[in-house]
């Protein structure tokens, strides 16, 4: 048990560091996201990660309408303050099982595979990115063009670099996948919003 946090399970309420959250209120990924994000933004990050672990341990099947919340929970778990990559990957793979073409999920799994230097997963998620619905992601990210944060505003350029890298991965290994990645790069460059 964390030395700064005496956790006491009382019925279905967890009391930790003087903050109370109800396990009964965490029945969906949306509930978990709402509570975890609220706690995180109110300087209670360790309570936020507990909520993410709690919902992950429940192994609730991911539905289409859960994808945003599950992906957001995974992104929060992966933040440098926690670096709970195993937890983040578990959540993302739950999305992957029901929505293999989700660009953002596949991109995160690809990045984690690169970070772990897991060659088999790098190839798996590079292929998944090639078959992802990147056009839906572009549409979803349309408002980001107005962001004052350069890294967010440049999502399009990062997509191009990602697919260029994927094309280089398959160069001389799989001509069809290399060609498809290059076609995506060409499409992205032709529709660059900047």
User: Read out DSSP for 56-88?
Assistant: HHTTPPP-GGGHHHHHHHHHHHHSTTT--HHHH
Q: Which comes out higher in pLDDT, residue 84 or 21?
A: 84
Number of domains making up the chain: 2
pLDDT at 86 over 60: yes
Residues 107 and 180 in one domain: yes
pLDDT at 22: 52
CB within 8 Å of 149: residues ≥ 6 apart: none
Residues 87 and 27 in one domain: yes
pLDDT at 163: 96
Closest of 101, 105, 106 to residue 126, by C-alpha: 106
pLDDT at 130: 96
Q: And the tokens for 150?
A: 């350069």
Distance (Å, whole) CA 3 – CA 155:
41
Residue 125: which domain range? 100-194
> What is the residue-averaged pLDDT of the chain?
84
Residues 34 and 89 in one domain: yes
Q: Which comes out higher in pLDDT, residue 96 or 192?
A: 96
Q: Which of 48, 74, 98 is the last residue of a domain?
A: 98
pLDDT at 4: 30
Angle, nearest 10°, between helix axes 119-130 and 155-170? Answer: 120
In terms of Cβ atoms closer than 10 Å to its own Cβ (0-12, 13-18, 19+), residue 91 is: buried
Closest of 150, 132, 128 to residue 140, by C-alpha: 132
Residues 125 and 80 in one domain: no
For the entire predicted model, the pTM comes to: 0.79
Please give the angle made by the CA atoms of 83, 89 and 98, to the nearest 5 degrees.
Answer: 150
């Amino acid at each position: 048990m964390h030395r700064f946090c005496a956790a006491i399970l009382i019925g279905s309420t967890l009391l930790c560091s003087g903050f109370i959250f109800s396990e009964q209120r965490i029945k969906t990924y949306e509930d978990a996201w709402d509570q975890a994000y609220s706690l995180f933004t109110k300087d209670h990050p360790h309570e936020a990660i507990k909520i993410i672990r709690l919902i992950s341990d429940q192994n609730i099947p991911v539905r289409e309408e859960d994808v945003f919340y599950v992906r957001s929970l995974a992104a929060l778990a992966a933040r440098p303050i926690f670096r709970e990559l195993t937890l983040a990957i578990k959540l993302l793979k739950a999305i992957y099982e029901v929505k293999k073409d989700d660009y953002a999920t596949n991109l995160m799994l690809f990045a984690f595979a690169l970070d772990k230097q897991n060659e088999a997963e790098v190839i798996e998620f590079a292929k998944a990115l090639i078959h992802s619905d990147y056009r839906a992601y572009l549409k979803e990210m349309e408002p980001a063009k107005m962001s004052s944060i350069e890294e967010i505003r440049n999502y399009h350029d990062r997509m191009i670099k990602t697919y260029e890298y994927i094309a280089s991965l398959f160069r001389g290994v799989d001509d069809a996948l290399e060609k498809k990645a290059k076609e995506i790069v060409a499409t992205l460059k032709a529709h660059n919003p900047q």
